[in-house]
């Protein structure tokens, strides 16, 4: 189920699903640890003897944000109860407090006495063993805790402060579903403490005159010990939960405006998606710099793992988009992460002589993430890497400098990372062909030598040459530039097919023998996006035409598939559907059209592709990894950080090309 509404501050992240149930709750890092672990935190209503949990089954829900903020705006109208609820949820930008405001409207012509119930299903530190929840009479609240993780929950109405109705109990043990069942008669047991696998419910009793409206608040303070969460709780009671909601609405409005760029030529929907994507990106980036791919635990059903890792490739793309959008400090933290944390955790420094590559993926703290890429192939030791991930980070460092011209900032990245990484790219080549040695493709499905990867290596070495020249390392600069030229020549010799009239996906190996893989793959557009190829080069143009003709989904939702015969979470098995359409692949085609445009008429050919992506988003603006080729429903994780990063980059490409073409509509 899609994660429709993420909110966060870089330390604490909450994500609600399509039924407006909180399902992911990360602290103390974005991506780790997930204390909800995918279990739903329910919200329910009791009125006149009838109880209903808020889901789409019984409620008409509209899930969105307050405009240009990270404060949700969710309306819920019951199909028979005379109530309308409006929720606003936010995580304070500075302190680890989740605040939920509920405005309850009486739609009847008589007084009503509804009761709201807030359920919390915590598996502290990602397991439900040894948790405790108790009622704290000192602060009139509930506290869940285990070890160095504390979660304080309280509430207030317009006339009362603190918890007066509550229940604690056992979940998922000996046939017990959970304490949330205790709420369904409108009364809570008041059990003051439970230990083991536990959950809890807080009840709020309200009274409304006919046609009246009232407001209440519920909050969760998160910290490492009792004193910390108590101080946060006291802050809420002193400042007021309502003021915290307003201060965060104001803060995020200023935040998104601070980096605003002129969006000349963009339709209003695309301008709105641009700003929303920036805010969603912010929720997925850890305070330590890690750009997390996605935080959606539903993906665990495939292999008991998630996307809650930092892939250097995704991070580099997002970093460049944020740099261009005016958020250089966030980009710089990512580059610091790669230089100071990720490199120091590499296995290569102690196992191999080559010490310059980045690993497959990383945890938010910089430690190496899980991987399915082996170190052994047959009897040969191989590197379990995707070489583009190293190359794109070098490129991101150079582009960061080009935007900010802060040589002191990037000096810290040069010797520890750029030199070592570029030396690796230069050395990690086949002596016979001059191409990079085999590594895994960006889709992490096959090992070989790929056009996309080779293009990123060319871009990475060119960036390294520019950085070396900046620091007066003339020999290195010359070597990197010469290496890029040699690899480009090798690419054109070995990865271009005169018979096909285009570039091929790559070279695979069968028993050590090279086998040309002529499949059409959307990543071939990386020749222009990352490799610096002229988009009007006929070889490249013919490659782009093949991507459009053979990967466009010609029925249903449209969009561009990753490659021919893509079976990853494939929804439709038909010859006319090459695979599920991916947001990033469709946007890559838009970026190619933008790069190739030399007049306004040609440039406008990119707009339908940009609009395709915007129209696939949920009302909240959230984009997935891929969509169903017929229904357009989300498939895999959402939000996918990579999708939002590429959208921001593509929209900036379009705006910059509009400016480059000028008033005449033709490039000078």
pTM of the model: 0.96
As given in the structure block, the two tokens for residue 511 are 């028993």
Are residues 243 and 378 both part of a single domain? no
Element (DSSP H or E) covering residue 345: helix 343-345
What is the tally of structural domains in the chain?
Answer: 2
Q: Are 125 and 146 in contact (CB under 8 A)?
A: yes
CATH number at residue 71: 2.70.98.10
- Co-location of 458 and 534 in the same domain: yes
Q: Is 365 exposed, middle or buried (0-12, 13-18, 19+ CB in 10 A)?
A: middle
Sequence-distant (≥ 6) Cβ neighbours of residue 520 within 8 angstroms? 505, 546, 547, 550, 551, 563, 564
Rounded CA-CA distance 43/343 in Å is: 44
Q: Which domain holds residue 492?
A: 315-338+373-546
User: For residue 639, is the peptide bond before it cis, meaning its omega torsion is within 30 degrees of 0?
Assistant: yes
Each residue's pLDDT tens digit, 270-300 = 999 999 999 999 999 999 999 999 998 887 6
What the block records as the tokens of 265 is 């030529």
Q: In what side-by-side order are the strands of the sheet with 506-510?
A: 439-440, 447-450, 506-510, 513-517
CB 369 within 8 A of CB 292: no
Domain assignment of residue 325, yes or no: yes
Q: Classify residue 271: in a domain, yes or no.
A: no
Name the pLDDT band for 2 (thresholds 50, 70, 90): confident
Overall residue count recorded for the chain in this entry: 668
Question: Does 381 reside within a domain?
Answer: yes
Domain of 539, CATH number, reads: 1.50.10.10
Q: Would residue 433 count as lying in a domain?
A: yes
pLDDT tens, 605-644?
999 999 999 999 999 999 999 999 999 999 999 999 999 9
Burial of 381 (0-12, 13-18, 19+ CB in 10 A): exposed
Domain termination residue (choose one: 511, 546, 581): 546
Contact 511, 377 (CB under 8 A): no
Q: How does pLDDT run across 410-467, given as a tens digit for each residue?
A: 999 999 899 999 999 999 999 999 999 999 999 999 999 999 999 999 999 999 999 9
Q: What pLDDT is recorded for position 398?
A: 98
Write down the pLDDT at residue 345.
Answer: 57
Provide the strand spans (E) within 206-302.
213-223
* pLDDT at residue 366 is higher than 70: yes
pLDDT score for 263: 87
Q: What is the pLDDT of residue 503?
A: 98
The domain boundary, picked from 521, 546, 571, lies at 546
Please report the pLDDT score of residue 665 as a whole number: 67
Residue 302 has a pLDDT of 59
Residues 6+ away with beta carbon under 8 Å from 590:
606, 609, 610, 613, 650, 654
Last residue of a domain, which of 502, 523, 546? 546
Cβ-proximal residues to 399 (8 Å cutoff; 6+ apart), any chain: 320, 323, 463
For the segment 90-136, what is each residue's pLDDT rounded down to a tens digit?
999 999 999 999 999 999 999 999 999 999 999 999 999 999 999 99
Residues 249 and 327 in one domain: no
Q: Judge if the upstream peptide bond of residue 33 is cis by omega within 30 degrees of 0.
A: yes
For the stretch 300-326, pLDDT in tens is 655 678 999 999 999 999 999 999 999
Q: Are 225 and 332 part of one and the same domain? A: no
Q: Sorting pLDDT into bands at 50, 70 and 90, what band is 667? A: low
247 domain residue, yes or no: yes
Non-local (6+) Cβ contacts of 105 within 8 A are: 83, 84, 85, 86, 212, 213
Q: What is the mean pLDDT of the chain?
A: 94
Is 305 part of any domain? no
Q: Is pLDDT above 70 for 214?
A: yes
Summarize pLDDT for 508-564 with one digit per residue, the tens.
999 889 999 999 999 999 999 999 999 999 999 999 999 999 999 998 889 999 999
């Amino acid at each position: 189920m899609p994660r429709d509404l993420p909110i966060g501050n870089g330390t604490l992240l909450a994500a609600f699903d399509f039924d407006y149930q909180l399902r992911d709750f990360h602290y103390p890092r974005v991506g780790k640890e997930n204390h909800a672990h995918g279990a739903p935190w329910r919200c329910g209503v009791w009125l006149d003897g009838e109880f209903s949990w808020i889901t789409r089954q019984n409620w008409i829900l509209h899930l969105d944000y307050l405009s240009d903020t990270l404060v949700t705006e969710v309306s819920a109208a019951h199909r028979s109860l005379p109530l309308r609820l409006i929720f606003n949820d936010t995580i304070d930008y500075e302190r680890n407090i989740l605040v939920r405001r509920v405005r309850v409207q009486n739609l009847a012509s008589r007084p009503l006495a509804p009761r709201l119930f807030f359920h919390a299903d915590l598996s502290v530190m990602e397991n439900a063993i040894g948790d405790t929840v108790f009622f704290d009479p000192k602060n009139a609240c509930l506290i869940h805790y285990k070890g160095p993780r504390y979660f304080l929950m309280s509430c207030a109405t317009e006339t009362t402060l603190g918890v007066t109705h509550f229940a604690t109990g056992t979940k998922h043990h000996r046939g017990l579903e959970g304490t949330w069942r205790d709420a369904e008669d409108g009364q809570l047991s008041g059990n003051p403490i439970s230990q083991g696998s536990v959950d809890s419910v807080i009840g709020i009793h309200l009274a409304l005159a006919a046609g009246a409206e009232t407001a209440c608040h519920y909050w969760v303070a998160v910290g490492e010990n009792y004193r910390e969460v108590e101080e946060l709780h006291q802050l809420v009671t002193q400042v007021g939960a309502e003021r915290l909601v307003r201060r965060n609405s104001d803060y995020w409005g200023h935040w998104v405006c601070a980096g605003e760029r002129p969006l000349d030529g963009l339709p209003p929907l695309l301008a709105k998606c641009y700003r929303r994507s920036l805010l969603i990106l912010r929720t997925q980036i850890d305070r330590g710099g890690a750009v997390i791919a996605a935080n959606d635990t539903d993906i665990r059903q495939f292999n008991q793992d998630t996307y809650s890792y930092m892939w250097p490739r995704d991070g580099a793309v997002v970093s460049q988009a944020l740099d261009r959008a005016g958020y250089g400090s966030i980009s710089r933290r990512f580059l610091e992460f790669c230089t100071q944390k990720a490199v120091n955790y590499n296995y290569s420094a102690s196992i191999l002589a080559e010490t310059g590559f980045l690993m497959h993926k990383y945890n938010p703290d910089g430690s190496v993430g899980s991987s399915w890429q082996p170190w052994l192939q047959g009897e040969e030791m191989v590197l379990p890497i995707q070489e583009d991930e190293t190359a794109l980070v070098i490129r991101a460092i150079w582009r960061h400098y080009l935007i900010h011209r802060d040589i002191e900032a990037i000096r810290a990245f040069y010797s520890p990372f750029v030199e070592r990484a570029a030396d690796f790219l230069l050395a990690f080549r086949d002596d016979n062909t001059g191409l990079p040695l085999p590594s895994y493709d960006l889709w992490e499905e096959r090992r070989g030598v790929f056009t996309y990867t080779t293009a990123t290596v060319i871009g990475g070495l060119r960036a390294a040459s520019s950085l070396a020249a900046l620091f007066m390392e003339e020999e290195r600069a010359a070597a990197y530039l010469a290496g890029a030229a040699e690899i480009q020549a090798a690419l054109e010799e070995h990865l271009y097919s005169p018979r096909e009239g285009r570039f091929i996906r790559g070279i695979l190996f069968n028993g050590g023998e090279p086998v040309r893989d002529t499949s059409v793959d959307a990543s071939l557009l990386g020749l222009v996006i990352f490799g610096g190829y002229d988009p009007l080069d006929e070889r490249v143009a013919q490659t782009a035409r093949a991507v459009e003709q053979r990967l466009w989904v010609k029925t249903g939702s449209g969009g561009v598939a990753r490659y021919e015969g893509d079976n990853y979470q494939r929804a439709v098995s038909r010859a006319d559907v090459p695979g599920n359409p991916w947001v990033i692949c469709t946007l890559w085609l838009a970026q190619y059209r933008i790069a190739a445009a030399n007049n306004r008429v040609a440039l406008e050919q990119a707009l339908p592709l940009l609009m395709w992506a915007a129209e696939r988003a949920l009302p909240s603006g959230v984009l997935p990894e891929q969509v169903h080729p017929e229904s357009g429903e989300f498939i895999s994780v959402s939000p996918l950080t990579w999708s939002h990063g590429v959208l921001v980059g593509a929209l900036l490409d379009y705006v910059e090309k509009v400016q480059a073409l000028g008033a005449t509509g033709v490039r000078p």
